[in-house]
Amino acid sequence: MLTGRIADAGIMTLTGLFVPLITPFDETGAVALDALSALARRTLDDGATGLVALGTTGEPGALTGDERRAVLDTVAGVCRERSAPLLVGANSPAELRALADLPAVTAALTLVPPFLRPGEAGVLAHFARLAALSPVPLVAYHVPHRTGQPLSADALRRLAATPGVVGVKHAVGGIDPTTVALLADPPPDFALLGGDDLVLPALLALGAHGGIVASAHLATARFAELVEAWRAGDAARARPLGHRLATLAAALFAEPNPTVVKAVLHAHGRIPTPDVRLPLLPAAAGSRAAALRALDAADGPVAIPPDTADWTFVIDRGCDECGFTPPPAETTGARLRATVPHWRAALARPDAGRRPAPTVWSPVEYACHVRDTCRIFRQRLELMLDEDDPTFADWDQDAAAVAGNYHHQSPGTVAGQLAAEAEATAAAFDAVRPDQWERPGRRSNGSLFTVRRFAVYFLHDVLHHAHDVTR
């Protein structure tokens, strides 16, 4: 039985996926706390078990004391709100004592002493001293290619027997004999967490309890699925997924961490800038592009079969599926505006970015489609009002979803974009004069609309997809 905060939280052994959060910076170079909070929430929403604050991925050495405390308070607030485990990078007695007033902290992630190479006995004595004075349990961070201090399987077992040491982030750079021996007979009530993203799938296959995985800022749900699959013994599901995620991890670590991770998060609109602080330099454009391609391969959505149905019947008959009854075209603007709160609520849900089934769009994908539909139909309306019987240019909605990267868009960002496009389109329909409702326009296949019928057809599309995200 474990003691301290882990036992208080009802956790016998730390298991699952832990994401060591980056520290985002804004355009002025300041820590972007709002972006950090949003990142923490989405990471948990997407399936992470817990978070790590002020790990090496968070560039703690480049932060001021006030910045470190602000980061810690922000992430601790999210974990407290979500009842999620929180590990905090803390390596000295002072850093550990500072955690005493933060009940959200589950354990400290504490580095094996670097550079000194004190020997195994020195490492064990060091952790015994820190554990005795720490207000929280310790998870040792064993990364010998950086610290210069190897540890044998016997030393790791003695470390596991040290009171107050509850786990290890095992990052030895591969699968060595020590790793195999340790996982073949793991110490009881001691968390063995993979710390090398590239070999995480192999560590999980050997029996690791989970991982502390910087790459899981991206494809978080897939990494969580990988951990769960190996814990369940589902090798058929885990192996191909592990191969894809290992390729992603290699791309994200092509340059010093977290430079590529930040570049990809910024490309997806999830943090204000991709900036890092010296001595790190921003990732090269080629590394970012390669990581984005790897992400699409690892976490890209399953292609959705095209909808080839002709929905023009709803203009006259309505739609039994969503309950749409054709309204007067003159009410289009007001009815469109009335959908905006519904979309904001759908995009504020924790599952806004998650597909309910592999071939069904997530709420954010539907919202991106509605946003773009508003823009396209407003442009077509302008054509019908300005030209005589114009033919609309083709719009491939499925291709637009791929090109627009709908699957990876930020729900909060899309909510604002959709509201703006809906208002502009509502205003355009409000401005239609009585003598303009019968003006014609046609699709490229020859289907003829009047402005009146076009308005009803458009409104059904928006309302039907609002129905889709409530099912």
Which residues lie below 8 Å from residue 78, measured CB to CB, with a gap of 6+? 37, 40, 41, 44, 51, 84
Catalytic-role residue among 169, 262, 406, 457: 169
262 annotated active-site = no
Q: Which helix (H) or strand (E) holds 36?
A: helix 33-45
Query: What is the CB neighbour count within 10 angstroms for residue 399?
Result: 11
Q: Is residue 71 within 8 Å of 36, Cβ to Cβ? A: yes
Torsion-angle region of 304 (φ positive above 0: left; ψ -120 to 50: alpha; else: beta): beta
DSSP state of 217: G
Paired with 442 in beta bridges are 391, 448
The Cα–Cα gap between 392 and 377 comes to 10
Q: Compute the distance between CA of residue 230 and CA of residue 228 in angstroms, rounded to an integer.
A: 6
From CA 245, how far away is CA 299, in angstroms rounded? 9
The count of other CB atoms within 10 Å of the CB of residue 421 is 21
Are 216 and 39 spatial neighbours (Cβ–Cβ below 8 Å)? no
Catalytic residue (choose from 141, 366, 406, 457): 141
Q: Tell me, yes or no, if 141 is annotated catalytic.
A: yes
Give the Cα separation of 202 and 198 in Å (integer): 9
What is the DSSP-derived secondary structure letter of residue 273?
A: -
Distances (CA, A) of 61 to 7, 57, 65, 89, 258: 31, 10, 10, 11, 13
- 420 vs 137, 219, 401, 404, CA distance in Å? 49, 29, 19, 17
Which amino acids are annotated catalytic? 141, 169
